[in-house]
Structure 1
């Protein structure tokens, strides 16, 4: 409770913080916002049920982080935007802004916030065996726990916020990993590591097949754009970057986040594989893998600590989501459509009422996730497809084209929602046939269609004059001098992660790693060293010169 009180004293009092955040704060805030409870439960559940292929959602996020740092962030900060819909309004029109805002609101209400509540509730259910304690079914117990956790979380989020769980959260992942290896090896941690590397090593393979939920090929199609939406346009993720005290600090924080994402497979998926080796197929649902480890491996005093940390993560994510949803509501709907002369005090009051209503709606939706056949993680990824692809397509086309009219963006949103529903659920439900490809590939195909629709609209009804963004930077626009070299290093780290969790790495069938592992690793290191030198001596200077030129010509 002292932690909550401290965070309440530090709470800024307005939905958007001032433009004074440093790179370190931005990186920590981005990671804490992203590595939430549903990630712990969902990713460990997927690793327990299949293999490491779902790590693609986290590791390849580095590509999106790089795009945000080098391409999108200079434009966001250069225009001094407060929300993403405000950026859309500047490029297209108010109608498009309203449609994008509505998509974000529906996504937060029906997908993101309920998944956060569900992940916290299922951990409580497993740890305290609530169904047996209350004499109720699993589903009935889920409803009760979600409402209790949700009410507490909403109170923290709406009336103060929880900002200080990052260190405990990291200790959670690392500590459980070490304890899991210790238990798997009967008291010998090295023996436990050897077990997961040599017994059923295919569980450590990140190169998903067509039968896995994330086939390897999808990282080059829909996943690129789904991740780019999350890291490049999702309000509650990029809100901190919009508050950077300079472009350089924003780029530092963003790129450092990419390196922290590389650690996710170790802290949020390997424990799921440990759970598989300990329990086999004995768990009632895959999403119980992480809570089962906490419940059965840790002594009671540490179980309570880890539960507190997990709930802290739930409250932190709740805080970020409700704060971002409230920010968009008051800035993009209330002040635009309802009361244009609203004061800051009134907007804060309205945002808290809206946050309360949003929380209540999510309480009724979260328990339904218990029926998700493919686990929490997959259901989140599938449903975010309704809004992530059209939004990122609109943003990218809006940035790199000058004649695409607002009607193109509006048609894109409507067509995508209808087609996506039909391709994923509609055709199987109403016509009895389905497309035998991953939903991630479908998202990639629909991204191409979205771009084509907007390009055709620009050809048929182009704007009378080329669009020009309003140039209004509030901070220093000089880029970070190591932005491009660090990008090369981050790309190398992503590739190494795939080498490690591949048939030539830890999933090698006849040993710990194959004979190709070390030559491949050394070759990668030499290549990255070469690219670092070239980028530092040449590419970085050209990038900086280009941004400065665009800044002076007011094109950012």
Structure 2
């Protein structure tokens, strides 16, 4: 049912109005909500630990679903069917692990960041600094780069007259302003608005797409018939020397979530185990994700937020993957092009054009106004992801790195450093744009990088939470062994140039690279790191129990006072100035020139130094923020909902198995 819709895909004035209106609403909500928790480290980085479960769930979903998902999931759907949805369904189970196992430990430990948890758990600084640097590298070269690439791809399709770099720089500046001006409160509130916009706009496009094809059954039937004309012309001709005959044909298992162990894209052992390892790292120890749950009012709100995010994870399969498949049905010559020369003409890439599936569907099917809404959706996805990464990165840099060099830094200094860190990330991201444009198969590239670097971190966190015998030497050398093996595999694999489908002229990869899928390698790497960690831990001195209270899953309810392994590391500005009265601070603020007032407001420090809490009040506040108490009624309701959610996920997985 291939069609060729010829219409004006340029932005209508109605599209521009929708986009402008979206930005005005988001800016008002973001900056307005940020005023609640300004003027403190806890307010800026953890939203004062006052977030409702609805906001937590929406923010978890929005932080994960960036523009890379819209482009990458739809493109993978167009290339090989629904299989890519396993990444979303797997996350449902791991979100429950986050809410029921990891978050209670993090809250009881009273930490701001994940590296800070490891510092309290193991002592010393080398693990904390290593993971902080690793997190910043991963943020810059995978998450930020993927979203920028995807956002730029959509913008170039929608507005070919707009300079790519100008558009990306504008988006980066807006994202940075949100983060610098508001902190986590603004980020979470804008995430909530953007989640509503993303789901609403994508739902409209999904309905229009299914109507255009003729319904679900038509999609299943016609996807397997969506061949490009070049393939149709040469297929089955034994005297034809055409090399790309098999490249434009959808795989036979396109409607299966569970695929054979030797499947080149999604082998089932890798999905069941390797993907779970990477997912535990991402959902349970990655700062961007965990920071949202730590901002919850109570543990019950954090759990409810993970349940809400789990229900939302059913949506990408229908809102993104199936529309990507429909795009191939409607425009097979464009989306499913197999001849590299033809692909280069269509999307300036010889590797294929499946990545333009979602943008093409938006521009061809949606009327003016709604087209602008979907462009706003893509922008909101991009900005949501970037604001989340910027805020979490500034938190890691400020708390885990800067304070190592400036242990007595004042809160004012830390707040300013956090903002400067965001600006630095913007500069690095812009400089990385030319390199990102050259990356092929971006979604699998990111997953491969994760499988080469994340399993050792996952192993250390799992052992740290569940096995109290794990100590600092074991964790450190487990991380180092995993890093070495992972880097060897990464360098070895990418030393061979990518060979397009049908091209037999390239160098053949050795079997250890070509036949060991990156998800299978992730399983192997996890066990290597875990084994080294266990062996070294058993051969070295254990950590005394009094240093581990509320730092493991088994001791999370412990009430005895914990003795920090490195107590001197938690000394924060012992020589700080005494607190001033609120009236004195206001009077002092009123006498400042207007430009200093503006600077202090942007940095959120206009009221800092006013009326600090007494030691008793501070202790009571800390006890409240580290409490993991739940009422029996809420615990029962949350447990039942978690079981229902996972049962539905098993049903969907089994239905499409």
TM-score, normalized by length of structure 1? 0.82
CA spacing shift, 1:278–1:212, aligned 2, 3 Å? farther
Aligned match of 2:522 in 443, 449, 469? 443
CA spacing shift, 1:295–1:212, aligned 2, 3 Å? farther
CA spacing shift, 1:458–1:248, aligned 2, 3 Å? same
Give yes or no for the alignment of 1:477 onto 2:603. no
Say if 1:77 and 1:474, in contact at 8 Å, map to a contact too: no
SS in 2 for 1:245: coil
SS in 1 for 2:105: helix
Deviation above 6 Å: which 4+ runs of structure 1? none
CA deviation after TM superposition for structure 1 residue 362, in Å: 1.5
CA deviation after TM superposition for structure 1 residue 439, in Å: 0.3
Structure 2 unmatched ranges of 5 or more: 1-22, 39-43, 225-252, 336-346, 348-352, 497-507, 551-557, 559-621
Say if 1:72 and 1:232, in contact at 8 Å, map to a contact too: yes
Give yes or no for the alignment of 1:196 onto 2:196. no
Aligned match of 2:487 in 403, 413, 421? 421
Instruction: Work out the CA distance in 2 between the residues paired with 1:457 and 1:491.
Output: 37
Aligned match of 1:106 in 122, 132, 137? 137
Structure 1 unmatched ranges of 5 or more: 135-140, 185-190, 503-556
CA deviation after TM superposition for structure 1 residue 330, in Å: 0.8
Say if 1:15 and 1:348, in contact at 8 Å, map to a contact too: no
CA spacing shift, 1:464–1:319, aligned 2, 3 Å? closer
2:457 matched residue in structure 1: 391
CA deviation after TM superposition for structure 1 residue 247, in Å: 1.5
Equivalent pairs, count: 485
Instruction: Work out the CA distance in 2 between the residues paired with 1:212 and 1:494.
Output: 24
1:173 matched residue in structure 2: 202
1:7 matched residue in structure 2: 30
CA spacing shift, 1:19–1:154, aligned 2, 3 Å? closer
CA deviation after TM superposition for structure 1 residue 386, in Å: 4.1
Say if 1:146 and 1:367, in contact at 8 Å, map to a contact too: no
1:127 matched residue in structure 2: 158
Aligned match of 1:454 in 533, 545, 548? 533
CA spacing shift, 1:58–1:120, aligned 2, 3 Å? same
Give yes or no for the alignment of 1:465 onto 2:544. yes
Say if 2:149 and 2:436, in contact at 8 Å, map to a contact too: yes
If you compute each CA radius of gyration, which structure gives the higher value, 1 or 2? 2
Note the 1:2-151 alignment, pairs <5 A.
2-3=24-25, 4-11=27-34, 12-13=37-38, 14-93=44-123, 94-128=125-159, 130=160, 133=161, 142-151=164-173
Say if 1:79 and 1:473, in contact at 8 Å, map to a contact too: no
1:220 matched residue in structure 2: 272
1:291 matched residue in structure 2: 359
Over residues 306-356 of structure 1, what are the superposed CA-to-partner deviations in whole Å (9 max), with x where a residue is unaligned?
A: 112210221111111100000111111112x12222232221211111111
CA spacing shift, 1:342–1:396, aligned 2, 3 Å? same
Say if 1:389 and 1:443, in contact at 8 Å, map to a contact too: yes
Say if 2:449 and 2:490, in contact at 8 Å, map to a contact too: no
SS in 2 for 1:300: coil
Say if 2:52 and 2:297, in contact at 8 Å, map to a contact too: yes
CA deviation after TM superposition for structure 1 residue 108, in Å: 0.7
Note the 1:149-168 alignment, pairs <5 A.
149-160=171-182, 161=186, 163=190, 164-168=193-197
CA spacing shift, 1:212–1:55, aligned 2, 3 Å? farther
Say if 2:451 and 2:521, in contact at 8 Å, map to a contact too: no
1:266 matched residue in structure 2: 318
CA deviation after TM superposition for structure 1 residue 421, in Å: 2.5
Over residues 513-549 of structure 1, what are the superposed CA-to-partner deviations in whole Å (9 max), with x where a residue is unaligned?
A: xxxxxxxxxxxxxxxxxxxxxxxxxxxxxxxxxxxxx
CA spacing shift, 1:386–1:361, aligned 2, 3 Å? farther
Over residues 38-57 of structure 1, what are the superposed CA-to-partner deviations in whole Å (9 max), with x where a residue is unaligned?
A: 11111111111112111111
SS in 1 for 2:46: coil
CA deviation after TM superposition for structure 1 residue 155, in Å: 3.1
CA deviation after TM superposition for structure 1 residue 401, in Å: 1.7
Instruction: Work out the CA distance in 1 between the residues paired with 2:59 and 2:167.
Output: 27
Aligned match of 1:301 in 369, 381, 391? 369
Say if 2:58 and 2:308, in contact at 8 Å, map to a contact too: no
